Amino acid sequence: MLANKLFTIETRITPNDEILDYFKADIEKQSRLFRTVWKLVQTSNLKQSKLNTYLQNRSTIDKRTANTLIQSAKGRLKALKALKDVERADLLNKIASLEAQSAALKIIAQSQKEDAVNNRLSEAQLVTYRHNKHRLWQKGQSLNRLKQRLGKLDKAAEKQVLPLCWGGKKNFKAQHHLEENGFKAHEAWLNWHRKKRDGQINYIGSIGEPHGNQNSQLSYDKKTDSFRLKVRKDLELMDGATDKFFTMDKLDFKYQRDKLIQVIQNNNAPITTRILRRGRKWHLQVVFTWTAEGIKTNILYGAVGLDYNDGFIEMSETDYYGNLVYQEHIPLIHHGTGSKAKSEIQQKVCAIAKQACVKEKPIVVEDLNFKKAKAKTLSGSNKQYNKMLHTFDYSRYKSVLENATFRNNIGLIYVNPAYTTRIGVSKYKAQKKLNQHQAASYVIARKGQGYIDRAGKSSKRKIES
């Protein structure tokens, strides 16, 4: 069984003055052309071949550079449309939740209205009645704003032109408050904004090209145990130079370098590169596809079940018969979406994956999705629940887990999360002297093996492999 995974790795580069001047000029040119292509892709009906020809004739670029610009624009447009779909679904959920709350609050306010008009309410009841009326007005305002945002999304979808503020709205609006943002003049802001807006050069690879990329060729030198990058000069910026490439030697990558070396040596996969400018620092980013070998784990040996919670992970290991053979409580000290929390969860998940690899058992987790629940959360209502829900970063945990299992060729099984805690508490908590989270992780592992557990009933094996 083979599986493909897309890796993105990065390293710092220190180009000389000649290459640096070229990168600055090429970034400005590519960014300007990309904004043109972005508009043409949305508004014109030109096919890629005709659009490519138009760009070559207009801007003196080669065919591969034009294709890179077109594919980058189409990819970003596709991602933006998907993001707008998610945004629209979130708005619909919020509107439905607000309308339900407003309807319930309106009934309460209407029931108190007659007594309030006839002065039959006590002072405390009158305060409550006024508070409910104010809350009802606030929800009406919020509902109106959400419906306006939904209308703008639908209007943009009808026109099939999605607005995009290059460089970000926050940076763009800084020009109206120069002193507050540390600028002495509008020209200083403009230079800063352009650097923020124009920050990368893309070289999209192709499987049929030398080194997987025609314009940016990455190779590995065994003698120096380092990488070499050759960047083809742009037609307009070459200025009659005899050498068509800029070369940077002694580059290195700390992350996934062995996989990158193998991809380069096999020369059977596209390698996409990006030159990134972040402030005064320059970086090289490499994107490549890695084909993993067969899965090394076997469900016949048992499973490792994980119950992910806010602040800890409970792990349960089972044998072939679904018996509990090992448990571990894995604390997560850092919360939220910060770098410390990310680093901690990567370390913990990596340790779990290595342990599962040694035991040759797949990992089983719940297939959770909190998008709808997060979309329905409203400011001011159940603040403790809202805080827990938004700091409980399950999507990052899921992404880290998928990467770790892929790298170690470990099977990853998703199971239905329905009633895992209830079944664990009812059936195994007292019997095996477990807490509710330990019992839940045990039930998750058994679900992955195919066992069916019901509260108060004996389990039966559903599958034999």
- Measured in degrees and rounded to the nearest 5, phi and psi for residue 123 equal -60, -40
Is the pLDDT assigned to residue 336 strictly greater than 80?
no
CA torsion 107-108-109-113 (nearest 10°) is: 100
Neighbours of 453 (CB within 10 A): 20
Instruction: Please check whether residue 308 lies inside any domain of the structure.
Output: yes
Tell me the C-alpha distance between 28 and 134, whole Å.
53
Instruction: Please check whether residue 64 lies inside any domain of the structure.
Output: no
Is the pLDDT assigned to residue 463 strictly greater than 60?
no
How does pLDDT run across 199-227, given as a tens digit for each residue? 899 999 988 888 889 889 999 999 999 99
* Lowest-confidence pick of 144-158, 352-366, 370-384: 370-384
Instruction: Please check whether residue 363 lies inside any domain of the structure.
Output: yes
Position 371 scores a pLDDT of 58
Paired strand residues for 309: 312
Instruction: Please check whether residue 100 lies inside any domain of the structure.
Output: no
Q: Considering the entire predicted model, what is its pTM?
A: 0.71
Instruction: Please check whether residue 292 lies inside any domain of the structure.
Output: no
Closest CA to 13 of 285, 302, 328, 321: 285
Q: Which CATH number goes with the domain that contains 338?
A: 3.30.420.40
What residue numbers bound the domain in which 325 lies? 299-461
Instruction: Please check whether residue 182 lies inside any domain of the structure.
Output: no
Contact 229, 248 (CB under 8 A): yes
Contact 348, 332 (CB under 8 A): yes
Paired strand residues for 286: 9, 273
Total number of domains in the chain: 1
Instruction: Please check whether residue 336 lies inside any domain of the structure.
Output: yes
**Long-range contact list for 347-351, CB < 8 A, 24+ apart?**
348/313, 349/397, 349/400, 349/401, 349/404, 350/404
Instruction: Please check whether residue 66 lies inside any domain of the structure.
Output: no
Position 455 scores a pLDDT of 75
